[in-house]
Structure 1
Amino acid sequence: MKRIILALLLVSAIALWFAFDLGQYLTLDTLKAQRDTILVYYATHPLLVLAVFFLVYVAVTALSVPGAAIMTLAAGAVFGVATGTLLVSFASSIGATLAFLASRFLLRDWVQAKFGARLKGVNEGMARDGAFYLFSLRLVPVFPFFAVNLLMGLTPIRTWTYYWVSQLGMLLGTVVYVNAGTQLAGIESLSDIASPALLGSFAALALLPWIGKWIMGIIKRGRVYARWQRPRRYDRNLVVIGAGAAGLVTSYIAATVRAKVTLVEAGRMGGDCLNYGCVPSKALIKSARVAAQMRHADAYGLERSEPQFSFRAVMQRVHGIIAAIEPHDSVARYTGLGVDVVQGYARIVDPWTVEIALNDGGTQRLTTRSIVIAAGAAPIVPDLPGLEGSGYVTSDTLWEEFAKLDEIPRRIAVLGGGPIGCELAQAFARLGADVTQVDKANRLLAREDAEVSALIEAAQRAAGVTVLTGQEALRVETGADKRLILHKDGEERAVRFDALIVAVGRRARLTGYGLEELGIDTNATVVTDDYLATIYPNIYAAGDVAGPYQFTHVAAHQAWYASVNALFGQFRRFKADYRVIPRATFTDPEVARVGLNEQEAAEQGVAHDVTVFPLHELDRAIADSATAGFVKLLTQPGKDRILGVTIVGEHAAELLAEYVLAMKHGLGLNKILGTIHTYPTMAEANKYAAGEWKKARKPESLLAMVERYHTWRRG
């Protein structure tokens, strides 16, 4: 109601202004004609004239109606430079701030709700450098000040900051116009004041803050490097620390552009994904899926059977698959590509020097123009009493430890309800273990929407997993019978296990690389700017060590930005783009997502429409007995623009690719609906989901008219 009242008052005031043609009193001719009369009245009633002028000026700028430039000339013509400048400076700033506040009160919430996702970068930039941008705009009269007032009201810049920056930024222009007013007789039009030369001078003046920012950047970099001695020459153009996804792609790009690059890795080439994560877990999941299909073969009209297998053979298959992929990431391949691969532990001695403790003994020092830290992440091991003596394994160590076993552990406890915990718990349960999955959150996959969590929990239970959510792990008791002690609602319970898998998340590897000595900031990850650079402009970070996402495909994505900025940043640098990031959890059914889900949209206040297509209506899903799941679309209200997609179902990760492409290139649901999809395929679910969105928005009134037309045609 307050917004409505204010809007009506503003509209009424502006309407009255134009209805009574009040602008006729704020023209150059009127000012010239009335100047002497005003001066006489000012001489007898100075305070009244000053007060009326001040209030009218505030009103004109607050309502954003024409006339402020003429009033500024009048201030010089009537009051002189000093008094006129003082009046106009404060009146214009107060009026501008009132317009700013009106715009903020009336429109900001609506604009942020409707366009919040698109404006995220703008909001962050304004929160960080809003005063700087506003000052630059205020220095250039070419930008309509009323537009600046209204648009700035939609941003998060603070009101006080807006006021004082506006007053300071408009001061020079105010002085120019007020001074011109003292020479009123010689002015025929406003263009006599705002000449191209003058406007060009203002534009050049507006560049000063940017030049100052550039100079400050040079000074800041000089201070960062001040205590270090720069080498006179460099052994390498780039040294990359870590041969996981980020490190491999970074060094590959550097070698491709003929840079001299050294890749340092202390452990296995390929990093966590090849050796401990993506590859072995998916190999295990495939074996477990086959075992589950055998156990439920009657669903396909076949005779069900209990799978007979050697657990050692299953683990050998896992390691065999790692070995089959290993050549893609091997020392030999990358050496052949032109990368100098050194096996050892790297430590950054100064911003241009890396010291390597070689695996085969000795040390090597290399000077380099740039460095990329791609050290990855390691499993988080909670500080849990009794854990160290329990023989626990993590998602990294279980592959070697379980490969030594002839039989699968009979009882497995999995601590963690995230993607890794869910994948491992389901796989080992399908292979016949008695698995208990524990998480302190109230549901599995807590970052997903509630119905996704419910569906996955049902799938876990169907696979034989005992799911215990909302349970806090207190301690581990060892002895003849190992037990994980949990706590919930004041009561303790024990989970007996033969093997304990800790899968509560991963954290960046930050120690041992010399970051502390160099003063490189770390806060859960290496702190970088938008270009992936640390406080040292020649030292970058990419992958899990940099965050904010711990996905192999994001690490490879960041590697492009890190390598290009490190090698060619003196010409142009590129901001890392995180607008469209897909992710997947490879349970059965799979969970795949890109963009926002409902939970995140609600938390961020993003307005959205929801469309759901259940897979039990899809012909191919019915034929494959894979009807569990759905496609859920979040779209901008009234438009087909995709804000986010969640798919739960068989091959969900593959189905998601179409939406990733659409979001990346700005294609809406109408484009997907108009694309032919092969029948019968799971991919048709994407088209049918778009069809559900379209059907919910069919033009009922138009269809009613068409129906009457067809009735008329039938006679």
Structure 2
Amino acid sequence: MLKKTSWQRWLLVIVAAIAVVWAYQAFDVGNLLTLETLKSSRDQLLGLYASQPGLTLGVFFVGYVLAAAVSIPGAAILTLAAGALFGFWLGLLVVSFASSIGALLAFLVARYLLHDTMQARFTRTLAPINEGVKRDGVFYLLTLRLVPVFPFWLVNLVMGLTPMTAARYYLTSQVGMLPGTAVFVLAGTQLALIQSLGDVVSPGMLASLVLFGVFPLIAKFVVGFLKRKKLYANWPKPKRFDRNLVVIGAGAGGLVTAYIAAAVKAKVTLIEGHKMGGDCLNYGCVPSKALIRSAKLAKQLKEADQFGFEAVSGKANFAKVMQRVHQVIAGVEPHDSVERYTGLGVEVLQGHAVITSPWHVQITLADGSTQTLSTRNIVIAAGARPFVPPIAGLEQAGYLTSDTVWNLNELPPRLVVLGGGPIGCELAQSFARVGSTVTQVEMAPRLMSREDPDASALVQASLTDDGVHVLVGHEALRIEIQDGQKTLIVKEGKGDDATERSIAFDEILVAVGRSPRVTGYGLEELGIPLTARKTVQTNAYLQTLYPNIFAVGDVAGPFQLTHTAAHQAWYAAVNALFGQFKTFKADYSVIPWTTFTDPEVARVGLSEAEAKDQGIAYEVTRFDLEELDRAIADGSTKGFVKVLTVPGKDKILGVTIVGEHAGDLLAEYVLAMRHGLGLNKILGTVHTYPTLAEANKYAAGQWKRAHAPQKILALLEKFHRYNRGGETSPPLAEKSA
């Protein structure tokens, strides 16, 4: 309940708002503050100013202050009027002070009414904003005043909620609004002189119109120049550079960035502190898919009798399975090797990189020696590492992650997998199929919570069929060790209804997510900020706080996907090397991903749950794979194709595919969404029979049947009946008559 003082404050603002609305309507302010009214009443106003200059100035000043304070439409007309009535210098003086005082009044009202309440309610959210305003608030406000991106009233309101002092706000507004005010007042002096068509092309009028048009561009350039000057003030810029580009990290993002730079003949250095190829080659995509392939074969062999084979055990030799995993890594390794990239024209240095200034990178090489490179641009592609939660006893018990699990040579008899996301599900299923007794623990109420419930339900059912003991809604509390026996204690439920249970294990695999690598290479010293998700903060062009330092891949987000890192790399490379001519915003509008469980789950665009949460209208078309000939022949009928479309139209909003080779099937929809093609185009495309890809066409066909023109079909039915001699006149002719 509001305190008495709060009621008084709000009563005051309500009364004031009613008074403003009444005055606006009663005095027909909306029609008065127009250019036509100003021109038609110009002579009368000039006469009034000539006879009573002091009174006219005073009334105008007070009126402008009130108009600015309550943010009524027409401030631009009042500014033009000041130029028309008082001339340039006096008009500039009056408007400059009146607008700043009005802005200050609005600022103070917002602070009096809302500041304490908003700060108390959103303390955590506003904390970084408050810190930013304390550090650079004057510059932010100056930018908004010079280049008015946001409405005048909104700036007053928002800044009133921050810690900025009233004096600083007023002085910054006074300075920041002065150039724009000058342009409007000058335009007003010229508009007042228009008597005939010839006056429109007078030198003064043309000059004012040119200033009016180019001022925002000039202001934007000035603001950018001042911002860069302040930002780089402590970092002297070299007169010449050793490199056009230095890339830190040789994962997918770094490799593609370096490749593009070398392809356009830039001098580029790629620095990797560990293994070329990054996480994907050495710990993620490649080894996990190799293990998944072996695990899938083990499953197929165990079910060989369904395909007419007898006495097939399907028992896996884990040591040989892991040997194959490393052979696969070795087979892919040359694609990401030092030799290949050196051959492409990239200088590759293996060592630890530290950004010592926006223009310099220091490298500590394997032999302990160091060297410092100067570079025009830097791209950070440092990747991510497994996140390890603070569970009591975990360090003492020892644990595996998606990085270290590939060092196993013996199959863990009892394996606990913490985490129900893509990595946890893929590894839990694979280890169960090759012979481990697997228990999977997930705190959320279902596995793969980013996907729709029907998709995650199919995955959970499949994992259960493979022998995984899935515990959703369970929180890992601690690990106890007694007589060498390791036990995980988990909790289900909350409060008095909570129950604990013990899970004995030999190995525990932590797969609860990955944390961006943001420490140890200079970000802290340069003051490059992080987001709430602890990724490097970048703008739409992938620039960090320093415009010549970019970030891509897992370290930048928003997706931790190899192909997204490669996608971002193009933008980072092009913006870094050619940004002085043209920059490109990174496009995340059509980003696909796949979880390689069996069945696979692949998605692009909106899920049904996301559409509901965002209030987006949609229709659902679903085709079940059990109706597909090829799926029946292969014995892979578990799954579906689900397409979300705009109601009544074939425009695709999102697609989820669950089933065999879902990731491959998704590509057709990714192409369609990327190029604005709808379901009608997919339906009109010939698909080979019998293939799994026909599922896409059949899904489009189901949409088409649901949107068939029933009235036309009824007429056609009558037409065909007439052709069979069932009616005396064609129905189409009757309708046209």
Normalised by the shorter chain, which TM-score bucket? 0.7 to 0.9
Relative distance call for 1:169 and 1:337 in structure 2 (3 A) is closer
Residues 143 and 223 in structure 2, CA contact (< 8 A), matched pair in contact too: no
SS in 2 for 1:306: coil
Partner of residue 535, structure 1: 545
Structure ranking higher on relative contact order (CA contacts 8 Å, 6+ apart): 1
1:587-602 equivalences in 2 (<5 Å)? 587-602=597-612
Partner of residue 22, structure 1: none
SS in 1 for 2:232: helix
Deviation per CA, 1:349-374: give whole Å up to 9, x if none.
22222222222332233222222211
Partner of residue 529, structure 2: 521
Aligned length: 628
Amino acid at match of 1:488: E
Deviates more, 1:581-590 or 1:248-257: 248-257
CA distance in 1, matches of 2:39, 2:182: 25
SS in 2 for 1:513: coil
| Offset, 1:680 | 1.4
Partner of residue 472, structure 1: 475
| Offset, 1:564 | 2.0
Q: Give me the TM-score of the superposition, normalised by structure 1.
A: 0.76
Deviation per CA, 1:60-87: give whole Å up to 9, x if none.
xx999xxx999x99x989xxx98xx99x
Relative distance call for 1:708 and 1:197 in structure 2 (3 A) is farther
Partner of residue 372, structure 1: 379
Partner of residue 341, structure 2: 334
| Offset, 1:197 | 6.4
Partner of residue 321, structure 1: 328
1:252-651 equivalences in 2 (<5 Å)? 252-303=259-310, 305-400=312-407, 402=408, 404-405=409-410, 408-478=411-481, 479-489=483-493, 490-523=498-531, 524-651=534-661
CA distance in 1, matches of 2:415, 2:310: 29
Residues 295 and 304 in structure 1, CA contact (< 8 A), matched pair in contact too: no
| Offset, 1:196 | 6.4
Deviation per CA, 1:125-174: give whole Å up to 9, x if none.
xxx99998998799xxxxxxxxxxxxx99x99689689x99x99997798
Relative distance call for 1:491 and 1:712 in structure 2 (3 A) is same
SS in 2 for 1:526: coil
Relative distance call for 1:652 and 1:312 in structure 2 (3 A) is same
Relative distance call for 1:177 and 1:677 in structure 2 (3 A) is same
Q: Mind listing any 5+ residue stretches in structure 1 that lack a counterpart?
A: 1-25, 94-127, 139-151
| Offset, 1:190 | 11
What RMSD, in angstroms, separates the aligned Cα atoms of the two structures? 4.5
Relative distance call for 1:593 and 1:682 in structure 2 (3 A) is same
CA distance in 1, matches of 2:38, 2:716: 60
Relative distance call for 1:180 and 1:386 in structure 2 (3 A) is closer
SS in 1 for 2:708: coil
Deviation per CA, 1:183-227: give whole Å up to 9, x if none.
79x45899799976654442133434323333334334433xx2x
Partner of residue 219, structure 2: 209
Residues 589 and 648 in structure 1, CA contact (< 8 A), matched pair in contact too: yes
Deviation per CA, 1:584-615: give whole Å up to 9, x if none.
00001100011111122222222222222221
CA distance in 2, matches of 1:171, 1:265: 53
Deviates more, 1:458-467 or 1:697-706: 697-706
Relative distance call for 1:354 and 1:76 in structure 2 (3 A) is closer
Partner of residue 721, structure 2: 711
CA distance in 2, matches of 1:176, 1:263: 54
SS in 2 for 1:522: coil
Residues 582 and 594 in structure 1, CA contact (< 8 A), matched pair in contact too: yes
Deviation per CA, 1:421-444: give whole Å up to 9, x if none.
000001111112111100111100
Residues 28 and 189 in structure 1, CA contact (< 8 A), matched pair in contact too: no
SS in 2 for 1:482: strand
Partner of residue 254, structure 2: 247
CA distance in 1, matches of 2:629, 2:715: 33
Residues 130 and 157 in structure 1, CA contact (< 8 A), matched pair in contact too: no
Residues 616 and 622 in structure 1, CA contact (< 8 A), matched pair in contact too: yes
Residues 528 and 534 in structure 1, CA contact (< 8 A), matched pair in contact too: yes
Relative distance call for 1:182 and 1:569 in structure 2 (3 A) is closer
CA distance in 2, matches of 1:681, 1:247: 37
Relative distance call for 1:131 and 1:442 in structure 2 (3 A) is farther
SS in 1 for 2:215: helix
Deviates more, 1:551-560 or 1:414-423: 551-560
Amino acid at match of 1:645: V
CA distance in 2, matches of 1:202, 1:326: 59
| Offset, 1:632 | 1.2
Deviation per CA, 1:428-474: give whole Å up to 9, x if none.
11112111100111100011111111111111111111100111100
| Offset, 1:624 | 1.6
1:217-256 equivalences in 2 (<5 Å)? 217-223=227-233, 226=234, 228-256=235-263
Deviates more, 1:696-705 or 1:239-248: 696-705
The percent identity for this pair of structures is: 54
CA distance in 2, matches of 1:303, 1:525: 53
SS in 2 for 1:328: helix
Relative distance call for 1:290 and 1:672 in structure 2 (3 A) is same
SS in 1 for 2:451: coil
| Offset, 1:529 | 1.9
Relative distance call for 1:308 and 1:188 in structure 2 (3 A) is closer
Amino acid at match of 1:562: A
| Offset, 1:634 | 1.6
CA distance in 2, matches of 1:710, 1:130: 73
Relative distance call for 1:191 and 1:622 in structure 2 (3 A) is farther
SS in 1 for 2:565: helix
| Offset, 1:486 | 0.2
SS in 2 for 1:520: coil
Deviates more, 1:677-686 or 1:465-474: 677-686
Relative distance call for 1:180 and 1:338 in structure 2 (3 A) is closer
Residues 575 and 584 in structure 2, CA contact (< 8 A), matched pair in contact too: yes
Deviates more, 1:491-500 or 1:258-267: 258-267
| Offset, 1:638 | 3.1
Amino acid at match of 1:295: K
Amino acid at match of 1:485: I
